[in-house]
Structure 1
Amino acid sequence: MSPAQGPDALAAAIDLAAARAAEVGRRIADSAEDLDSVARRLGGRAGDGGWSGRTGDRARGEAADAAAEARMLSGNCLFVADVLRVEGSRLARAVTGWDAAEAAEPGTGDAVPVQDADRVLAMRLREAADGLAGRVDPATRPCLDLSGSTDDNPHEVARLWHLLGPADRTRLARDHPELGSVAGLSSATRDALNRTRLRRLLDATGAGAWVGGRIPDEVARDLTALAAYLEQDPRRHLLDLHRDGRAVVASADPDSAERVVTLVPGTGSSLADLGRTGERAGAVCEAADPAGACVAVSWQGYDAPDGVVSAGSSAGPAWAHAGDLRTYAAGLDAVEGLDGDDAPHAAVGYSYGSVVLGAAAADPEGLAADLMIHVGSPGAGVESLDRQWVDEGGVSRPAVDDDVVAVASRWDPVPWWSITGVSGERPGTNEFGGRSVDVTEPGAGPEAVRTAHSRYFDPGTVSLMEIGRLVSGIE
């Protein structure tokens, strides 16, 4: 590849190729699961559509072989997407640097970085070609303990996963289907793995094959709702999935986004109403970046309290999964940072979600977010900014006032719950620290007490405009 190629055109071509490879990989993974479903049905009882004898064995074997082949193709496509996003971006930056130097003073551009980046990209793509040609058999690859090799550090996971070839990735994915919930893998890979797990969990609920006895009705409801929500828009990515009815869904691939907004919903939220959380997160993205380069993430990674009484009586649900939010954010930062372009990340905690957000940042390891926005907060789980930490590229530091913002209406009664001390102090007060933004609607009076808490993300409101302004202002 010659440095003479236009840098803008090169970068655009690499981005497009990576996106297409990721999309093809995700779709083929779905096809592989379809084939596996066929094989399972063929293996059922004759009266239920199963086949017996040699014909049945041959049909089941061919379906299973086709599924294995599809998974190999899917893994290679996802590998290519990952390589193009990371190594391709490095090549595009090198070409851009060479072009800028040549434009300033012809003959001064250094082509060595371009050649080096091009060589690495070609070498990694050759790995995919070897896998597709069958020159590397995943079954012959040595066993790798991803967790033991990285100590579950998302930054180490991201680095190691990127170094692995498609054969190693295929074996790990085959032997460890739970990899879809491992922070540090690319979002496209996690989506493909988690969709397969979701379909198998749904099959298990339908067949009554649930470990531990009776299938909880609410779990079956939530998983079914999640599947329907994903089906509505193929761009959505399933970043995390737990069999107890918790999940994390992005509106698109966050790894290549120019901006990411993660919304932690509040009381009463679940996968059954993921559409509402997604709409609110999407509204923030739209307000911050009308051009559409922002990815909205609905983080239903905790068991939210069912009602106001349970939410107001304990911060336990927030602390129970605060570590999960911290791990998710660190993984997002680790993967996205591999290409050398750090996209801003805003974490938004709404209502009881604010308690989760504050609890996640209370660990000295810090939360990987460029801005923490508490909307209608009843408290941040802790008493002051002194107990909030930020993770910057794997390095923790104490949070400062500009890292934490409280957004509230004067007519919202929820923030006043902080006087009980159950959920900690709310951000933006003199006692806590941080910034405060008043988003009381013009002309609002006492009647707004009934609606103020539920309108923060409504189109055309002062609150949504201000939240969007805060997110767009992150450098």
Structure 2
Amino acid sequence: MVWKAQCEALRDELKGLQTLQDRLNKPVTDRDPQPFLLRLDAAAPGGRAILALNDPDTADHVATFVPGTESRLGGVGGTMDKSKEMYRSAVQTNPGSKVSTIAYVNYAAPQSARPGFAQPVPDAAYEGYAKDAEQDLYNSQTGLRATHQGSPSHNTIIGHSYGSTVVGYAMRDKGLPVDSVIFAGSPGVGVEKAGDLNVDLAKGTKMDPSKVYAVLGGQDTITDWTPGLDADNLNPLSDDYHLRYGRDPMNPAFGAQRLPTQDTDHDHYWNEKTPSWKAFGQVIAGKPVT
């Protein structure tokens, strides 16, 4: 059984490596911009990869996408696809600027219990994955600032599902030098309100709540996923309610700006036909959300 599991893990990582290779070999077009492989570590548990579309060091607008549960090297294709959709949306919003979006598969994500999956002790019920990811995410975001050429870029970070918890924890405990943040389908981000998120922890600089955005689709069941909490703690009909990792970013008391969406499920905020697709691009491009 151990041998079988190891073989399956290796096949999965080989699939991810092939996906990266195919993308790097793809001809550069307006629809498929130049890729930059910023990190690759197949030896790390689950594998690690960071891939940018366009050079973030020279871009006007830079967005980093942090995926959630079940993200790993073997599934890097899905993360890259979402990153590409946000690139397309941002370019459509602001055709005259240079945009770079980054697929960040660079932490040991929980590999079980996505919303709707019944498991007694799901991996995503533990905050340790988020806490272990803080330093690398901090390093990557401060690195983007340090290596950028010319005027500072407008930087956005997007966390999806458990990835939003990773982003929130890093902002709370380390501070991330970003201009805006989006939480999509979030189980909580480790703080009670948007103003508790830090940009520069050393200087005590807080995130501007008007630049904190949240989105939740009508068919996203993440708010039903609260393992370890009493059912009374999840009551969206009350004025104040909490999820697994703190107050729901969609809760008015949290203070985030809500992005438009439809009856989207947990994984399809990046469908071009949804209002969230357009809104992501507007935030990344530094434009008002319409």
Give the TM-score, by structure 1 length. 0.48
- In terms of fraction of residues, the more helix-rich structure is 1
Residue aligned with 1:260, SS:
strand
**Mapping for residues 263-278 of structure 1, pairs under 5 Å:** 263-278=65-80
Structure 1 residues 388 and 416: alpha-carbon distance in aligned structure 2, compared to 1, 3 A threshold: farther
Instruction: Report the alpha carbon displacement of residue 293 of structure 1 after superposing the two structures with TM.
Output: 2.1
Residue aligned with 1:468, SS:
helix
Structure 2 residue runs without a partner (length 5+): 1-6, 29-33, 114-118, 227-233, 235-241
CA contact under 8 A between 2:188 and 2:247: conserved in structure 1? Answer: yes
Q: Distance in 1 between matches of 2:100 and 2:275?
A: 22
CA contact under 8 A between 1:378 and 1:416: conserved in structure 2? Answer: no
2:229 corresponds to: none
Residue type of the partner of 1:284? M
RMSD in angstroms over aligned alpha carbons? Answer: 2.8
- 1:298 aligned to 2:103? yes
Give the TM-score, by structure 2 length. 0.76
Residue type of the partner of 1:355? T
- 1:417 aligned to 2:225? yes
Aligned-residue identity in percent: 29
CA contact under 8 A between 2:193 and 2:253: conserved in structure 1? Answer: yes
Residue type of the partner of 1:256? T
Structure 1 residue runs without a partner (length 5+): 1-213, 442-450
Residue aligned with 1:317, SS:
helix
Instruction: Report the alpha carbon displacement of residue 227 of structure 1 after superposing the two structures with TM.
Output: 3.5
Q: Distance in 2 between matches of 1:351 and 1:415?
A: 11
Residue aligned with 1:256, SS:
coil
Structure 1 residues 465 and 324: alpha-carbon distance in aligned structure 2, compared to 1, 3 A threshold: same
Which entry has the higher C-alpha Rg, 1 or 2?
A: 1
Q: Distance in 1 between matches of 2:274 and 2:90?
A: 14
Structure 1 residues 311 and 429: alpha-carbon distance in aligned structure 2, compared to 1, 3 A threshold: farther
Q: Distance in 2 between matches of 1:386 and 1:462?
A: 26
2:24 corresponds to: 230
- 1:314 aligned to 2:126? yes
1:368 corresponds to: 177
Structure 1 residues 421 and 461: alpha-carbon distance in aligned structure 2, compared to 1, 3 A threshold: closer
Q: Distance in 1 between matches of 2:179 and 2:223?
A: 23
Instruction: Report the alpha carbon displacement of residue 362 of structure 1 after superposing the two structures with TM.
Output: 0.8
2:250 corresponds to: 428
Residue type of the partner of 1:429? N
Which structure has more relative contact order (CA 8 Å, sep 6+)? It is: 2
- In terms of fraction of residues, the more strand-rich structure is 2
**Mapping for residues 10-89 of structure 1, pairs under 5 Å:** none
**Mapping for residues 302-381 of structure 1, pairs under 5 Å:** 302-308=107-113, 309=119, 310-336=122-148, 338-339=149-150, 341-363=151-173, 365-381=174-190
Instruction: Report the alpha carbon displacement of residue 455 of structure 1 after superposing the two structures with TM.
Output: 1.5
Once the two structures are superposed, residues 18-73 of structure 1 have per-residue CA deviations (whole angstroms, 9 ceiling, x without a partner) of xxxxxxxxxxxxxxxxxxxxxxxxxxxxxxxxxxxxxxxxxxxxxxxxxxxxxxxx
Structure 1 residues 215 and 286: alpha-carbon distance in aligned structure 2, compared to 1, 3 A threshold: closer
Residue aligned with 2:50, SS:
strand
- 1:403 aligned to 2:211? yes
1:471 corresponds to: 284
